[in-house]
Structures are given as C-alpha cells and as structure tokens.
Amino acid sequence: MTRAERKRAEMRQEILDAAFDCFAERGYHATAIADIAASLGIGHGTFYRYFENKRDIISHVIDGLIGRIVAALATENAPDAANTLDEYRVQVKRIGDALTSIFFEDPRIPRLLLLQAPSVDAELTQRMLELLDGATALTAAYLAHGVDRGYLRADLDIDGTSTAINGMILASAIRGLRSPDRAAMTRLNTAIQQLMFHGLAS
C-alpha cells in the first residue's frame, strides 16, 4: 500500500465505524449522512467519495460484522476439526465463548443485525434470513461430521437438530439484547451445551 492508499483505507474504516455508532445509537432510519459526517468532522463530499449513500454504507457495516462472526468459526472451529466427542465438547464451548464475546461485549452488533437491519428494506430482510439459513447449514455440517465419525447418534435428525440448536442461539442473542448480563449469558450457553450433549451423544 502506498501512503495515499493507506490513508484512504483508514478514512473508509473511520466512516464505517462512525456509521455503526450512529446506526446503533439512533437507528438506521433516524440517522442521516450529516450525522455520520458530523461525528467525524468531515463534509458530505468526503463521505460520498467512499460510499454511494446510507443504504450502501449499512451494507458494508453488515459485511464487517458478518466477517467477525465467520472468523470465529475458522480453522480450529471448522466443522471437521473435531474427531471425538470430547474434542467436539471443547469446540462447542470455544465457539460459544467466541460468539458470546462478539454479541454481548458489544450489544450494538446483535441490535443492528437482529432488530435494525431487517427493517431497512426487503433486500436486507432477505439477507438476514439467508444469514440464519447459512448458520443452520453450518451447524448441520458439524452434526453430520459427528455422525460420520461416530461420536454423535447415528439416528440423529441433522436438519431438525441444527435448526433447533440455532433457534436456541438466536433466543440467547435476543435475551442478551434485553438483559446484557455476561454471567447470565454464560449460564445460558452452558445450559444449551448440556442440552445438546445429553441429547446428541452416541
């Protein structure tokens, strides 16, 4: 990167961060481009050199948030990383801890993804539904791997169980929005894991 490219990338990220703050504090519909620009002390013209409009920027903000979630599921947390039930227990706890850190240490993230983004327009609503579908498909891959390796029940309804697990995680995220108590969320994650393993193990 040249110095000019680096400065441009830094300004773009500053605008994204400021937009995230404004959307989280005021809501998408109540936030104007002027609010985002004013929070950074820049003019409208500077904003429009980086993003087309407010709809464009919330799409990029959501891209960044989804990227953080996907990163939590990389490498050691990939669906085929565990080969025994004990390894899978550790993996599930690791994923639960990572998602708790993302969603509950910064409650703006679930607020934007679960409450505000679906209200923007039909396209973003569909995108959030597809995100949930993707999470369910990913959970199904973990379960299918466990069944294949023999540490999960051979008669497991993979599709139904993956939907149920993601339903519990979604309910946990919604509860965290209403009462962002880290200790309570940790207990809830433990309860979900206990329910999973008492019902899934072979």
Rounded to 5 degrees, φ, ψ at 201 are: -65, 145
Estimate to the nearest angstrom the gap between the alpha carbon of 33 and the chain centroid: 25
* pLDDT (tens digit per residue) in 16-31: 999 999 998 888 999 9
Which pLDDT belongs to residue 145?
95
Q: If you average pLDDT over residues 139-154, what whole number do you get? A: 94
Looking at residue 201, its pLDDT comes to 66
Give me the domains of the chain, ranges plus CATH numbers: 1-57 (1.10.10.60), 72-200 (1.10.357.10)
Please check the confidence at residue 150 and state whether its pLDDT lies above 90: yes
pLDDT tens by residue, 78-131: 899 999 999 999 998 888 888 887 877 777 888 888 888 888 999 999 998 998
Q: Please give the model's pTM, rounded to 2 decimal places.
A: 0.81
Return the bridge partners of 123, or none. none
